[in-house]
Amino acid sequence: MQKEKPNIRTIDEAGLKDWLKVQGEKPFRAKQIREWLWKKHATTFDEMTSLSIDLRTRMKEHFRLPALQVSQLQKSRDNTIKVGFRLEDNLLVEGVLIPSAGRYTACISSQLGCALGCRFCATARLGLNRNLHFDEIFDQVALLEKICREHYQQEKLDNIVLMGMGEPLQNYENVIKAIELFTGKEGPGYSPSRITLSTVGIIKGIERLADDKVKFNLAISLHAATDEKRSEIIPVNRKNNLEALGRSLKYFHDKTGTRITLEYVLMDGFNDHPEDAAKLALFCKQFPCKINLIPYNPVEGAPYKTSDEIRTLRFKTLLEKRNLVVNIRQSRGADIEAACGQLASTHKKPGLRGKSGRPGTKTT
């Protein structure tokens, strides 16, 4: 069997220099190649016109250059764009471009499916297929940026949120490497302050982010402030309970100085009572944070409903009375199943159809 050529995008600068040396080429070519890959987002060797045709030919012989392809694109009534990206192994992953008040947010995925089984989540129903590689995470940003230019004549994205398919902290190395590429000099150079990683609350991962002193933002999909309710909708809470989560978030803030965002999807009669607001306020006392209240997208087969406006405003007022910063976020792209974690529709099988959503996503 013929051995597969290595993916050139997985080779660092030192590795490229070694290969170029063997080829009798100058080491500075390594920088040029990486610039083509990460700044100019070349998807073929032929695009790398600052390299000789001979070198490009040898690169083609030695390496492969996989890149995500836009396979499906849907635009919602509110101009949200959902994209199905085709991966090298022919599987599909989804990302969303959200225009809002003149700002453009890319919501990207970190895993193909998810293993965590949250009760309200479309992605959960897929199970985990595999982690995305860092170049596959990077490509979603590069392609959503291109779509932003083509559809909205906007050169750069305003925000990048890891809130799509998957739990980013269960794919730690690839996620961090992709973020380094978005923010590094070699890539498009986004400021870390424009990037938000959203987690359901994996404590070891949060502590690791703190120890790594990351500069990007952290959002927690909280959705309930008692262990009983939270474990009902987020099974991983049983091993990562609220007490431990609160401690890890305090640790994160102490190490990074970053204010944490708590995402809270309001479900009628489940987590929107005055006593829920009181418990949430108590949880928030442990570290500086802001709260995003998000309308729930009903899920077929799940017993939860969307809180009405009166209950939503009451909840917000109760939190504000306790001096907390609270925003009510609007779901975007619901008509194309791009809102609040409805990301699974390009994978739908008969019997799996549902308006399910991952609370806390696509709400910027």
Nearest Cα to 52, choosing from 67, 22, 35, 32? 32
Within residues 118-137, the interface with ligand SF4 by CB under 6 A covers 118, 121, 123-124
- HEC string of 207-230 equals HHHHHCCCCCEEEEECCCCCHHHH
Joined tokens for residue 266: 């309001």
222 vs 324, which CB is nearer to ligand SF4?
A: 222
- Residue 214: which region, alpha, beta or left (left: phi > 0; alpha: psi -120 to 50)? beta
Cβ atoms 278, 318 nearer than 8 A: yes
Q: Are strands 128-131 and 111-113 parallel, antiparallel or unpaired?
A: antiparallel
36 vs 296, which CB is nearer to ligand SF4?
A: 296
CB of residue 118 to ligand SF4, shortest distance in Å? 3
11 vs 334, which CB is nearer to ligand SF4?
A: 334
Stretch that binds ligand SF4, among 83-91, 114-122, 279-287, 314-322 (CB under 6 A): 114-122
Q: Is 167 in the site for ligand SF4 (CB under 6 A)?
A: yes
59 vs 112, which CB is nearer to ligand SF4?
A: 112
Q: Which of 166, 168, 187, 246 binds ligand SF4 (CB under 6 A)?
A: 166
Q: Is 200 in the site for ligand SF4 (CB under 6 A)?
A: yes
Based on the residue annotation, tell me whether 121 is a catalytic residue of this protein. Answer: no
Based on the residue annotation, tell me whether 107 is a catalytic residue of this protein. Answer: no
Q: Is 196 in the site for ligand SF4 (CB under 6 A)?
A: no
Greatest pairwise CA separation for the chain in angstroms? 72
Nearest Cα to 165, choosing from 345, 350, 296, 352? 345
For 250, the enclosing helix (H) or strand (E) is helix 242-256
* Catalytic residue, candidates 94, 136, 145, 167: 94
Q: Is 223 in the site for ligand SF4 (CB under 6 A)?
A: no
For 247, the enclosing helix (H) or strand (E) is helix 242-256
Q: Is 280 in the site for ligand SF4 (CB under 6 A)?
A: no
Within residues 6-25, the interface with ligand SF4 by CB under 6 A covers none
43 vs 231, which CB is nearer to ligand SF4?
A: 231
Cβ atoms 361, 98 nearer than 8 A: no
Backbone Cα Rg of the chain = 21
Q: Which of 8, 97, 116, 225 binds ligand SF4 (CB under 6 A)?
A: 116
What residue ranges bind ligand SF4 (CB under 6 A)? 114, 116-118, 121, 123-124, 166-167, 200, 341, 358
Catalytic site positions: 94, 340
